[in-house]
Amino acid sequence: MPLEAPLDPVALRVAELNTRLANHGAMAVLRHAMSDAQVGRIALVSSFGAESVVLLHMAATIDRHVPVIFLDTEMLFHETIQYQEMLAEQLGLSDLRRIRPDRAETARRDLQGTLHRSEPDACCTLRKSEPLDRALGTFDAWITGRKRFQGGARTGLDFFEAGDDGRIKVNPLAHWTRDDIADYMLNNRLPRHPLVRHGYRSIGCAPCTSRVRDGEDERAGRWRGQDKVECGIHFKDGKMVRTTG
């Protein structure tokens, strides 16, 4: 059996991919990422939040056997768990991996379940970053649903990013607008997260998510009143990993 060709350094691969696919659409980028040997073994990471169904549907259309990593922080809304189960069945996702925090570490570092109040970044590390690191152990790349219009550190997103962990992040929807998301959901008759109709436009853990008022940014309801704008999986050593563009 011939040996597989070694992968080029991640930064070189990312630069070449962004150049080659700069003028391609989201589906083409996603299809390429899921099949290019230079991207490597890939998984889709989904929160099953307000807009997650779009990327999940696109991936399932290409290959419903793609590994999908769902981070169950054990602090999610009950509606999110129900939505995840419904979508997995409806889209025929055959390799959905529900990842939870390490029980021993949770007992040691957040026995009362109140760490999010005093140290939200540490809570994200415990319940998101560390479980994701373990789940991605055998993968070379992962797919995210982040978009430029979400603002903050996301405004400079490219289709491909070089992660500090040596993996490629793929952002097929980076250039999509709110209207693009709404149109795709409508045209494909995709079910919305049940909390969207109650004013939740970006949905994470229940204690750290609130309704968004008219005129507010859609992520205004995440960690409201705190100096925190990104979820734990885009942190490294407790610091936000900024994107470039």
Q: Is the pLDDT of residue 235 over 60?
A: no
Q: What is the CATH number of the domain that holds 115?
A: 3.40.50.620
168 versus 9: which is more confidently predicted? 168
Residue 141 lies in a domain: yes
The structure's pTM equals: 0.86
**Does residue 165 sit within a domain?**
yes
198 in a domain, yes or no?
A: yes
* CA distances in angstroms from 157 to 13, 121, 128, 140, 200, listed in the order given: 16, 22, 21, 19, 24
Work out how many domains the chain is built from and give that number: 1
Contact 162, 10 (CB under 8 A): yes
205 carries an active-site annotation: no
Q: What is the residue-wise DSSP string for 43-100?
A: EEEE---SSHHHHHHHHHHH-TTS-EEEE--S-B-HHHHHHHHHHHHHHT-S-EEEE-
Mean pLDDT across 11-19: 94
Instruction: Evaluate whether residue 62 is within a structural domain.
Output: yes
Rounded Cα distance, 50 and 71, in Å:
15
Structure tokens at 181: 């998301």
Q: Note whether residue 1 is domain-resident.
A: no
Provide the pLDDT for residue 107.
97
pLDDT digits (tens, 9 = 90+) for 59-112: 999 999 999 999 999 999 999 999 999 999 999 999 999 999 999 999 999 999
Percent of the chain with pLDDT over 70: 89
Residue 2 is assigned to a structural domain of this protein: no
Residue 189 placed within a domain: yes
In a domain, 34, yes or no: yes
Q: How confident is the model at residue 215 (pLDDT cuts 50, 70, 90)?
A: confident
214 burial via Cβ count (<10 Å: 0-12, 13-18, 19+): exposed
Residue 22: give the domain boundaries: 10-240
What residues pair up with 168 in beta bridges, in sequence order? 141, 162
